[in-house]
Amino acid sequence: MVNRFQIWMIAWAVLLAVVPLRAQDGVVFESAQDLEAVTQRLQSLEFQMQQLRGGEFVFAQGGGFERTPTVQDVGFGGEQHCAGCAKSYGACDCTTKAGSGFPTVKVTGFFHLDAGFYGQDAVNRATLTDIEDVVGFRRARLAATGNVTERTSYMMEFDFAQAQARFVDVWMQFKETPVGNIRIGRYRQPFGMAELTSVRELPFLERPTIFALSPFRQTGIMFFDTALNERATWAISGYRYLSDNFGNVYADTGGYGLSTRITALPVDYGDTGLLHIGFDYSYNDPGRDLVQFASTDGFAGNQNPNLGLAGLSVLPITAIPAFVNTGAMPTSRTNLVNIEGAASWGRLLLQSEARWARVELTNGTTNIFPAAYAHMRYVLTGETIPYNRQAGAFGRVKPLQPADLWCGYWGAWEAAARVSYIDLNGTGLPGPGRRLTDVTLGLNWYLSDHVKFQFNWIHADLNDPTSGGSQAQTYAIRGQIDY
């Protein structure tokens, strides 16, 4: 601690040095040497005082004393709130000091309560077995998010819909660095428009069947940002592959992946109208030299942590079997290519993606699996469909007036339709493969910004190489609340 006696003694010395000079108005120094001597004495006294206080002053000949930044000022000591810092490297003009309220914590959560009812023809029942009706929680999540500094944030989200809690998004993030934003941890990979649409904002109960050919959540590091005044996004991510439900990967050889995504808005009139295009690429070397692609018809029910590759939960389904399934394919590499396109006009949205997965089996056989979808959304009550410029994806409708039946308000209503296609037939596959085309009609009721109900009717047309074509109907409903 600074000795207060020393500070008071130096202060009195400065005062005694200055007062005689101001004893009478209009004091005039007899020579320049006298002025220089006084100046040097003041500099020496101020330097000694600031040494005791931990700072340093520099005397400017024409402008008095200027204080140089200390370690604490430029943000290298302790927690800082530095909203006024310049973005150029090495420059920082902090307007606030330490102790500005960090870290911050915000608790969020949501749940999906689903019910599904099936109707199958005889061939479909023989191919997939009799699918049982299901009621259960598809998702039940809690998360904590916030900042530990002005530019350092975090996310810790867990899902409790399974028999045990599992990691969803668990990461730290550094924004506005010289190389863009940086995210480290477990997160959704930058691949696919449907994948980067939040599950809170899905226009249908599940993502399209194209989702089966996605690296999705893995553990790694990602660099990303917007560009061209938020009319474009870019991202590149390196990660370990495949990870389990807790973000862990165990592998002696391989076990790495790379994903990248670029999007742009050639036409941009805000939420009243825009055109979105995008391109995605992903290379993956699975750590266990096994990879599996599988999908339901567009309804997943509740979850099963034990379905999929040994030790991994890659298929979020339980009583509902996989309609298409390659089985666990032995491979040392996969290549994924995806093309995105979307156009919106206020309350109307058209969106589509096409994807190809190239898998080289260890026996030398190469298979290419195609998948695609197209969907339409139309808001019956007139609200627009917002576009998230940071994610490069569309969000959910926010009602102009929350539902209040006593006052005659019905919230927002949206009609949706989708066609999905995926072909997992191939050569030398351990699984049945199969080809699936499904048509989904949906109706979404947004009671408020935080409550919605969704109704889906799904017609699945399944083709099995052995049993031939078959059909199934699914009637499903979801209730969602989030905060």
pTM of the model: 0.79
Q: Domain 106-482: state its class.
A: mainly beta
Helix axis angle for 4-18 and 32-53, nearest 10°, is 160
- The pLDDT assigned to 1 comes to 45
Q: How far is CA 460 from CA 208, 299, 424, 471, in A?
A: 12, 11, 15, 6
Q: Give the C-alpha separation, 434 to 286, whole Å.
A: 23
Burial of 476 (0-12, 13-18, 19+ CB in 10 A): buried
The C-alpha atoms of residue 82 and residue 72 are separated, in whole angstroms, by: 11
Cβ neighbours of 368 (radius 10 Å):
11
With helix as H, strand as E and coil as C, how does 185-217 read?
A: EEEECCCCCCCCCCHHHCCCCCCCHHHHHCCCE
Closest listed residue to residue 393, CA positions, set 171, 207, 114: 207
> What is the predicted pLDDT for the residue at 9?
52
Helix (H) or strand (E) holding 40: helix 32-53
Q: Where are the alpha helices (DSSP H) in 75-185?
A: 122-128
**pLDDT per position in the chain (483 positions), as tens?**
445 555 545 554 544 444 444 444 444 555 556 666 666 776 666 666 655 554 443 444 444 434 444 333 333 333 444 444 544 445 555 544 555 789 999 999 999 999 999 999 999 999 999 999 999 999 999 999 999 999 999 999 999 987 778 999 999 999 999 999 999 999 999 999 999 999 999 999 999 999 999 999 999 999 999 999 999 999 999 999 988 888 888 877 789 999 999 999 999 999 899 999 999 999 999 988 999 999 999 998 875 544 445 445 444 445 689 999 999 999 999 999 999 999 999 999 999 999 999 999 999 999 999 999 999 999 999 999 999 999 999 999 999 999 999 999 999 999 999 999 999 999 999 999 999 999 999 999 999 999 999 999 999 999 999 999 999 999 999 999 999
Cα(89)–Cα(402) distance, rounded to whole angstroms?
46
The encoded tokens of residue 370 equal 């195609």
Cβ-based neighbours of 475, under 8 Å, separated by 6 or more: 116, 117, 119, 456, 457
* Distance from C-alpha of 277 to C-alpha of 418, rounded to nearest angstrom: 19
Cis status of the peptide bond prior to 215, with omega within 30 of 0: no
- CA–chain centroid gap for 411, Å, is 28
In b/e form, how buried is each residue of 74-93, taking b as 16+ CB within 10 angstroms? Answer: bbeeeebbbeebeeeeeebe
Tokens of 219: 């553990």
Which residue in this structure is represented by tokens 């009139």? 269
Residue with token string 């790495």? 256
Instruction: Find out whether the peptide bond into 350 is cis, omega within 30 degrees of 0.
Output: no
* Neighbouring-strand partners of residue 116: 134, 476
Q: Which residues contact 411 (CB under 8 A, 6 or more apart)?
A: 381, 399, 401, 402, 403, 445, 446, 447, 448
Enumerate residues 6+ apart whose C-beta is below 8 A from 420. Answer: 208, 209, 210, 298, 371, 372, 373, 436, 437, 438, 440
CA distance 125 to 288: 33
Radius of gyration of the chain (CA): 31
Domain ranges in the chain are 4-67, 106-482
Residue with tokens 């009195």: 12
**Is residue 10 within 8 Å of 50, Cβ to Cβ?**
no
CA trace torsion 285, 287, 293, 298 (10° rounding): -110
CA distance 213 to 153: 30
Cα 412-414-419 angle, rounded to 5 deg: 165
CA distance 319 to 302: 8
